[in-house]
Structure 1
């Protein structure tokens, strides 16, 4: 009888050890509020990931990394497991550089909240940017927008003085007149417009922005249950937002430092979604061709291989 008890205890201990091995001690994930990443904001502010992993005592390590390029570097080094929000231009460039990165689920198609904004006091066109200083984040969909808009006017990125700059700093620079134009998104566009800076163009007619959640491939392979749970929580956040829109907008407005009315405008321009479609894959193929043609990406990748099955269902 004692032998049976010992065997049962050993079996339970082995089962507990196996269960623990299926989950990491911690999960590192970005917290990126801009442009208007409402799923990310709601997920963090409501403690949804913490609640989802509390029984396994998994620590959620929120990391503020706004640059898609820096997110890719952190994932390549193993310092970051998930980018809650990454634009597909950054995704493709990271993958082209050999970064073991993959799409976990969709986030948004924010066509209406990315723009090139000119300094106050001038009504600039894209053509007027020749020889001018343009500031904004390199290696992002905003960078892609600038290249596409210039190209449509017979210009190239070499025709402007493009200075790599964080979006918040870019907004400050253009409003102060220290730059002729800035690449801005969401609430930064609203703030710049309020300060007299005029929007030159948005993405409409130039690029189709897509924001996705990405994961370090090794994490998804090593901890499939934890990976699936993070994806499920991100989608649950979107479902909660749609069911509780007024409350979600209040949460988003507070996080972004805008009014609820402004948050509603950002919501309308964000195009939130979760499941990728064939149209998204085709758009990724088109974006890759553009990035390669314009020297923003050095090596092509198999686009379909970047998308994990979870992102398509």
Structure 2
């Protein structure tokens, strides 16, 4: 009887483990139960249609019609979103040029499904009001705050090379935006490489100076909507729905600009002037990813490879799939 009890226990335990593994697999694929799909959306500190749609509840409304439920997670920058995608904790995200390059080089399973910004002035290297630093070359020996792997990180390295400097010529302090902003405003760092709306906030509220943007370097810093590749395969219709809602929010923002500014200002506790400046300097789009953008990304990837920021050669066109945005934009 004891042997039989042990055998029954072992069988029962194995069945329980199998069931739990199945539940975990279903959750990783977005399944909450047999009928409802969980859609995990990442959002970072930007003012863009993703935030507007969240504030309006439009994703929740659209996905509910397809028996799906939305869960939001906030991030400081793009790289942590990539980590969440890699761990199957995120299905959709919006990030800049550099995080997707690092993600592709690391073999993470994501797909670029829309180009949301061109990014000529998406990022800037800032210095405090009254700073003696007037050019990038003046940064030699100075402390510069930046979020590692972000679009601001890439701008900083491009600007340094353009000025004939190496990263070893400056002190790069790796900080996420909340910590970097405190360090910058307390003058614990001499410069800060960051993106909108932080650029508009610092230049308007604190009269910070701009040393460089992408346009000064004849460079682009495009932004993208990403989907976890397996999620897109499992839920192609939800992927199209996601893009449709984003487009709904973008068009509403353009048509009701002042109302959108007020919504963003309240959501992020920003002055309306800051929000309006950020939206105008880095306007939102929602279009298929063009050969021009793929080429710009390839140029950035090759640049990062030359500096050993990434360790292997990549083809940036390989992560692009325009089928979803083309379906979403069909009348």
> Do the two structures share a fold, i.e. TM-score over 0.5?
yes
Residue 116 of structure 1: which of 125, 136, 149 is its match? Answer: 125
Gaps of 5+ in 1: 1-19
Answering whether residue 152 of structure 2 is matched by residue 142 of structure 1, we say yes
SS of equivalent residue, structure 1 residue 134:
strand
1:86 corresponds to: 95
Encode CA deviations 1:37-87: one digit per residue, 9 max, x unaligned.
x2111110011110001134421000002222111111111111111x111
1:199 corresponds to which residue? 210
Map 1:170-249 onto structure 2 (within 5 A). 170-193=180-203, 194-206=205-217, 207-249=219-261
1:297 aligns with 2:310: yes
In structure 1, C-alpha distance between the alignment counterparts of 2:291 and 2:261, rounded to whole Å: 30
SS of match in other structure, 2:220:
coil
1:169 maps to 2:182:
no
Comparing 99-108 with 109-118, greater Cα deviation is found at 109-118
Deviation at 1:22, TM superposition (A): 10
Q: Which residue of 1 aligns with 2:49?
A: 39
- The answer to whether the aligner puts 1:75 opposite 2:88 as a matched pair is no
Give the whole-Å Cα distance in 2 for the aligned partners of 1:242 and 1:265. Answer: 14
Q: What is the Cα deviation at residue 113 of structure 1?
A: 4.2
Question: Normalising by the residue count of structure 2, what TM-score does the alignment of the two structures yield?
Answer: 0.82
* 2:278 match: 266
Any gaps of 5 or more consecutive residues in structure 2? 1-31, 327-331
Of residues 25-34 and 213-222 in structure 1, the stretch that sits farther from structure 2 once superposed is 25-34
Q: Indicate how the Cα distance of structure 1 residues 217 and 24 shifts in structure 2: closer, same or farther if over 3 A, else same.
A: farther
Residue equivalent to 1:10 = none
When normalised by structure 1's length, the TM-score is 0.87
Query: Structure 1 residue 102 and structure 2 residue 111: aligned?
Result: yes
- Structure 2 CA distance for aligned equivalents of residues 33 and 42 of structure 1: 12
Measured after TM superposition, the shift of residue 98 of structure 1 is 0.8
Total equivalences in the alignment: 291
For residue 40 of structure 2, the aligned residue among 20, 24, 28 is 28
Q: Distance in 2 between matches of 1:220 and 1:70?
A: 20
Contact kept, 8 Å, 1:105 with 1:310, in 2: the verdict is no
Contact 1:250 1:260 in 2 (8 A): yes
Q: Distance in 1 between matches of 2:271 and 2:261?
A: 9
Instruction: Could you list the structure 1 runs, at least 4 aligned residues long, displaced by more than 3 angstroms after superposition.
Output: 20-24
Give the match for residue 153 of structure 1.
163
Instruction: Out of 42-51 and 100-109, give the one that drifted further.
Output: 100-109
Indicate conservation of the 8 Å contact 2:201/2:274, yes or no.
Answer: no
Q: Distance in 1 between matches of 2:34 and 2:318?
A: 25
Shift in Å at residue 174 of structure 1?
1.5
Q: Distance in 2 between matches of 1:212 and 1:24?
A: 27
Q: Using the alignment, how far apart are the partners of 2:122 and 2:104 within structure 1?
A: 25
Deviations 1:108-129 (A, max 9, x none): 2233242111234313121111
Query: Of the candidates 252, 259, 265, which is equivalent to residue 253 of structure 1?
Result: 265
Residue 8 (structure 1) aligns with = none
What is the RMSD computed on CA atoms of the aligned residues? Answer: 2.0
